[in-house]
Structure 1
Amino acid sequence: MAEIESLFVTRLYRAALGERGGIDVAELEASCLAIAEDDEAGQAWCEENGYPGYTSYASLDDLPWRFPIFKDLEAVLDAHVAAFAEDLEFDLGARKLKLDSLWINILPEGGTHASHIHPHSVISGTTYVAMPDGASALKLEDPRSARMMAAPPRVKAARREMRPFIYVTPAVGDVLLWESWLRHEVPMNMAEDERISVSFNYAWA
């Protein structure tokens, strides 16, 4: 009898931030909005590069040092990332995964974030601060796509693990983690209100 097994699994971690420490999401949202309003360098970078809305990615690289709420967030994320690394069965030796970068994303109606990966990192992720009705899901791409060559498309009712793209709609206060080589994007935000998130990378320190 034929035997079929799944190989080379792609893992996606999803949990509530509060499972591993308390974070006031309302305070986090207020901080994101206040920082965006004051960060003239970030605003200028977004305008120069055609980035819709606001990101602190190119302007502020020390949010946990500047703002206590982000320092608290780092401690909670450390615990989630450690749990995910254990599930992935990483052999980290005497080293550990350490927060390498953390930034704010504020995406207005009509805004998108094109498909990309996070080089030089091990685990990447996002925690969700404001997700109004109609806000974009996270779109994840099968990492084998470039190697499928002449493969036919999948049937519409294909099992979730067989689909070329997966859409994940997080709730406010959720954290999603994935290995940094996994290509992902944020499709157009159809909500009238802003979609606010905080993204981050962990490197092998």
Structure 2
Amino acid sequence: MAEIESLFVTRLYRARLNEYGPGVDEEELHDSCYAIMDDDEAGMEWCQENGYPGYTSYASLADLPWRFPIFAAVKEALDEHVAKFAEDLEFNLDGRKLVLEDLWINILPEAGGHGSHIHPHSVISGTTYVSMPEGTSALKLEDPRHAMMMAAPPRIKDCRRDLKAFIYVKPEIGDVLLWESWLRHEVPANTSEFDRVSVSFNYKWE
């Protein structure tokens, strides 16, 4: 009898941000994201100059966990999750650690999205979700084998999940998703009239 097995698995981690203790107040985190946006003139200017729909602190505020206690609590929770994910990935860290490299706010209004991209120079990337109104976009993850598919025919519509070209993951408020930073992903256009708010981050090997 023929034997078929799946090889080279791509892992996706999903958990509640506060799984390791109620350290992050979701309402305070939500309000803090908007308060920071209102005060971040440099960030808003960058968004306008670069055609970013909505707001991101990515290019303006590199030290949120040191500026605001609520983001220090977010970092503390994320450190736990990333350590768990690194165990699952069976990384040989050679006595070193994965440490937070950067963390930033994303506020996407109606029709706002973030095109397909990866996070170079990082090991693990992810997002925790602050506001996910009904009808807003899911996270879209791309099969990393696309560049090698050559003349392969398309999959049937209802093929197994592990064979799909794209996976859509609809997180809930308070969820954290982690993936290896080479995994290409995007946020399709927000189809809700309300903002989609999240906090994204990268971890590096130090």
Which TM bucket (shorter chain)? Answer: over 0.9
SS of the aligned residue for 2:30 comes to helix
Q: Deviations over 1:98-149 (max 9, x none)?
A: 0000000000000010000000000000000000001110000000001101
Correspondence for 2:21: 21
2: CA distance, partners of 1:21 / 1:153? 44
After the TM superposition, which residues 1-205 of structure 1 pair with which residues of structure 2 at under 5 Å, given as runs? Answer: 1-22=1-22, 23-205=24-206
CA deviations over 1:18-37 (Å, ceiling 9, x no partner): 11232101100000000001
Distance 1:52 1:190 in 2: 13
- Show structure 2 runs of 5+ residues with no match: none
Counterpart residue type for residue 16 of structure 1: R
* 1:93 Cα deviation after fit: 1.3
DSSP 3-state at the match of 2:33: helix
Deviations 1:5-47 (A, max 9, x none): 0000000000011112321011000000000011000000000
Q: 1:5 is aligned with what amino acid?
A: E
Matched positions, count: 205
Read off the aligned partner of 1:176 and give its amino acid letter: L
Paired residue type of 2:108: L
Distance 1:8 1:106 in 2: 34
1:140 alignment partner AA: L
Runs of 4+ aligned residues of structure 1 deviating over 4 Å after TM superposition are none
In structure 2, distance between residues paired with 1:131 and 1:9? 28
Task: Give the Cα–Cα distance (whole angstroms) in 1 for the partners of residues 195 and 114 of structure 2.
Answer: 14
CA distance in 2, matches of 1:128, 1:21: 17
Amino acid at match of 1:145: H
Percent of counterpart pairs with the same letter? 73
- Partners of 1:160 and 1:151 lie apart in 2 by 18
Deviations along 1:42-100, one digit per CA (max 9) or x if unpaired, are: 00000000000000000000000000000011000000000000000001011000000
Q: Distance in 2 between matches of 1:142 and 1:181?
A: 11
Question: Which residue identity is paired with 1:161?
Answer: D
- Cα distance in 2 for residues equivalent to 1:20 and 1:186: 27
Measured on the aligned residues, the alpha-carbon RMSD in Å equals: 0.5
Residue identity in the other structure for 1:17: L
- 1:20 and 1:115 map into 2 onto residues whose CA distance is 31
Q: Which moved more, 1:20-29 or 1:115-124?
A: 20-29
Question: Which ranges in structure 1 are unaligned for 5 or more consecutive residues?
Answer: none
